[in-house]
Amino acid sequence: MKKLFLYLFSLLSALLLLLSLSGCGKKESKTHYTLQICYDAEAHTLTGEQEITYTNTAEESLTELRLHLYPNAFRENAAIRPYHYGALARIFPDGVSYGGIEVTSVSVENEAVAATVTGEDMGILCVPLPEPLAPEKTARLHLQFTTTLPHARHRMGYTDRSVSLGNFYPILCIYENGAFVETPYYANGETFYSACADYDVTLSVPSAYKVAHAGVLTEKQEKGEQTVYRIEGESLRDFAAVFSREYGLLTASAGKVDVAYYHYGDSNPQQTLQAAVDAVLVYSALFGSYPYPSLTLATADFYQGGMEYSSLVYLSALNASEDLAAVALHEVAHQWWAIGVGSNPHRYHYLDEGLAEYSVALFYGEKPSYGVNEQEYAQKKRESYHSFLSVYEQVIGSPNTSMTRSVDEFRSETEYVSIAYDKGFLLMHSLRESMGKQRFLSGLKRYYKRNLFREARPEALFDSLNRASGYRASDIAASYLNGTAVI
């Protein structure tokens, strides 16, 4: 009888285990990009061939796929431009220059299709599918394109010192809530919203250049006057690269993470590299492990302070007289907030910018050797925000402090920065002060773990904080988001 009982108990346990496993969420199918890119340094063009393997994870069939054509924001007749007119001299020191992308061939499963360029400002490629793509079914797209780089100090562009390849190729729009999310390339902030995918990239550039890139280098070959790089990356939100003839290279390790710094114009490159190493170690301890095997930083002629891509960070060589190490702390934090955990920056700009800014404050609290007091840092953010409100009220009138506006609804870059960065920081600081540091960090760890390589909405963050603390984080956040909070 005892043996029968043990047998039945074991059988029941096995059945329960199987049921528990079958009840787990299915593994999401990732998109795969294969890119073959050749850079022509004379024409400043990229000739590209691209294959995309896409699995429909929606609950309904799809009759088309849509891809962002971000380079078209640089075309001469663009209605929506990725820069403010007040920044023209800084971006185009030799006069305004234009770029764009021409998709010359599109096929689906080896069948040519009549793709069209559409969208709010010719920024979307609409690819009709020969037959509806049912849920869980896969389609293979093949594209050929040519991207023309502007002579510009921008995410995508070339100067005498560097060539920046950010947002240069067709990339799939995310499909959610029954529609493709189309985010034009606005001047305020970043509006790039893409799902994680695996990449296999072959990049051919003149051998005089040294190349910094997202992903991991798997092969490098010299072919005549060209160097061909074979690069792979798993769960990248995008692929980007920057190259220069002037780069020096420093390397280090942050635990198991390989950190490289391609630099020119930095008066203290070792300090910048060490800040990136320290950031990886501190943020990993606070939030969860860094999501990639490597991190690459590179200076570039970029008119803003810095820019994040998957496992790659731009640092502006135009700001080399400033502390690039401090810029690196913010941009590295985006590897957790924006890259690791994705969000729609067009609508929820405060989510990744507020968290990245607040991560820097937490870093200073963990690393007093940097000589920045965490509370004083928070006070300066508060003063910066109040200063903006004061000037705005004197010049324009009563300010709109709502955080729920999309990036194109801000009247200026200054207003955007004050709301997304400064007020976003103050929102996180208020949540931390209300629930205590350890509960706040516990909530961030939960948020990161549950949403890594996925796309999250603000509710996901507030729910994680609620569960970690027992506080109604969403109630605190609501007053900030709708503009009623007294700060």
The tens-digit pLDDT sequence of the chain (487 residues) is 434 333 333 433 433 333 333 333 334 678 999 999 999 999 999 999 999 999 999 999 999 999 999 999 999 999 999 999 999 999 999 999 999 999 999 999 999 999 999 999 999 999 999 999 999 999 999 999 999 999 999 999 999 999 999 999 999 999 999 999 999 999 999 999 999 999 999 999 999 999 999 999 999 999 999 999 999 999 999 999 999 999 999 999 999 999 999 999 999 999 999 999 999 999 999 999 999 999 999 999 999 999 999 999 999 999 766 689 999 999 999 999 999 999 999 999 999 999 999 999 999 999 999 999 999 999 999 999 999 999 999 999 999 999 999 999 999 999 999 999 999 999 999 999 999 999 999 999 999 999 999 999 999 999 999 999 887 899 989 999 998 887 8
Angle at 99 between CA 95 and CA 101, to 5 degrees: 180
Residue 146 corresponds to which amino acid?
T
Contact 33, 51 (CB under 8 A): yes
Domain spans in the chain, listed from the N-terminal domain onward: 29-195, 350-481
Cα angle vertex 235, ends 100, 315, to 5°?
55
* Axis-axis angle for helices 349-366, 424-435 (nearest 10): 60
Q: Which residues of 140-164 are buried (b: 16+ CB within 10 A; e: fewer)?
A: ebbbebbbbbbbbbbbbbbbebbbb
Which residue in this structure is represented by tokens 């079914």?
137
Closest to 262 measured CA to CA, from 155, 141, 164, 351: 164
Helix H or strand E segment including 39: strand 31-40
362-392 burial code (b ≥16 CB/10 A, e <16): bbbbebeeeebebeebbeebeebbeebbeeb
Collapse the DSSP code of 234 into the 3-class scheme (helix H, G, I; strand E, B; otherwise coil) and give the result: strand
Nearest C-alpha neighbor of 425 from the set 353, 480, 327, 485: 353
Alpha helices in 266-311 (DSSP H): 269-287
Pairing status of strand 210-213 against strand 175-176: unpaired
The two structure tokens encoding residue 374: 């965490």
Task: Examine domains 29-195 and 350-481 and report if their fold is the same.
Answer: no
CATH hierarchy code of domain 29-195: 2.60.40
Non-local CB neighbours of 317 within 8 Å, separated by 6+ positions? 161, 162, 264, 265, 266, 299, 300, 301, 302
Instruction: Please tell me the class of the 350-481 domain.
Output: mainly alpha
CA distance 42 to 437: 54
Write 104-110 long-range contacts (CB < 8 A, 24+): 104/144, 104/145, 104/146, 105/142, 105/143, 105/144, 106/141, 106/142, 106/143, 107/141, 107/142, 107/143, 108/139, 108/140, 108/141, 108/142, 109/139, 109/140, 110/142
Neighbouring residues of 347: CB distance < 8 A, sequence distance ≥ 6: 406
Contact 446, 460 (CB under 8 A): no
**Cβ within 8 Å of residue 389, ≥6 positions away:** 399, 401, 418
For the entire predicted model, the pTM comes to 0.93
189 vs 434: CA distance, rounded Å: 29
Pick from 379, 355, 376: nearest CA to 431: 355
Q: Phi and psi for 363 in degrees, rounded to 5?
A: -60, -50
Question: Token digits for 487?
Answer: 């700060």
**Cβ atoms within 10 Å of 93's Cβ, excluding its own:** 14
